[in-house]
């Protein structure tokens, strides 16, 4: 039995001839990317630097050509979504304590510690749709947009989480699993 040079899993060679050092095509691809990651990154950087000015000029020309129609589209979008915009920025949405929750959590995501694109999440799942939303301090938690999306994905696939400790613990496992799968 051979061992994969990337993941150390045992595997049996199913063919004759050649030397097989990876257990699967996926392991081989991941090993190639790991080995050549810096080289690939450098190639992308050089390509971007080489074509940056050209790209900016093309974008500027396109914008000047389409400026009026883009402004009109933006106005239409804002008009169509005015109700949603007003709802999202409504100070009474979380019983008027959204700012209090953000201050309590120091404007940081309670899972990853991020400061950008933070939002408030109802732990028990009650929200603006339900008339009797639970807006208690112990039922609200600050999350970044990324962790919030992952949390809802996790809850759809698995189960509801009933406390902030459950959320932080589960999301830490989800994020760790995501980072391992990218390796």
Q: Name the residue range of residue 35's domain.
A: 10-80
Any domain includes 36:
yes
Specify whether 35 is located in the same domain as 70: yes
Any domain includes 1:
no
Q: What is the residue-level pLDDT of the chain in tens, covering all 183 positions? A: 788 888 888 877 766 656 678 888 888 888 888 888 888 888 888 888 888 888 889 988 988 888 888 888 888 887 888 877 777 666 677 777 888 888 899 999 888 888 888 888 887 766 656 666 777 888 888 999 888 888 887 777 766 666 667 777 777 777 676 666 555
H or E element in which residue 118 lies:
strand 118-122
pLDDT at 180: 61
- pTM for this predicted structure: 0.47
Q: Is the dihedral of CA 141, 145, 150, 153 positive or negative?
A: positive
pLDDT at 106: 92
Cα separation, 97 vs 153, in Å, equals 26
How many domains does the chain divide into?
2
pLDDT at 131: 64
pLDDT at 29: 85
On whether the CB atoms of residues 30 and 7 are closer than 8 A, the answer is no
Cα separation, 140 vs 2, in Å, equals 52
Specify whether 178 is located in the same domain as 98: yes
pLDDT at 102: 87
Any domain includes 4:
no
Cα separation, 13 vs 20, in Å, equals 7
Specify whether 98 is located in the same domain as 176: yes
- SS3 of 11, please? strand
pLDDT at 86: 75
pLDDT at 18: 60
pLDDT at 129: 60
Any domain includes 46:
yes
Cα separation, 118 vs 116, in Å, equals 6
């Amino acid at each position: 039995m051979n061992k994969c040079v990337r993941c150390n899993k045992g595997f049996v060679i199913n063919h004759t001839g050649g030397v097989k050092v990876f257990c699967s095509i996926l392991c081989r691809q991941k090993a190639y990317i790991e080995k050549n990651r810096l080289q690939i990154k450098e190639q992308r950087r050089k390509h971007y630097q080489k074509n940056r000015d050209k790209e900016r000029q093309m974008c500027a020309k396109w914008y000047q050509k389409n400026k009026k129609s883009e402004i009109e589209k933006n106005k239409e979008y804002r008009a169509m979504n005015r109700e949603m915009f007003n709802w999202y920025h409504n100070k009474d949405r979380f019983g008027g304590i959204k700012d209090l929750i953000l201050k309590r959590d120091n404007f940081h995501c309670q899972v990853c510690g991020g400061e950008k694109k933070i939002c408030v999440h109802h732990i028990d799942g009650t929200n603006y749709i339900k008339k009797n939303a639970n807006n208690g301090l112990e039922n609200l938690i600050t999350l970044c947009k990324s962790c919030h999306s992952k949390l809802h994905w996790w809850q759809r696939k698995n189960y509801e989480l009933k406390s902030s400790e459950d959320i932080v613990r589960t999301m830490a496992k989800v994020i760790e699993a995501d980072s391992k799968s990218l390796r």
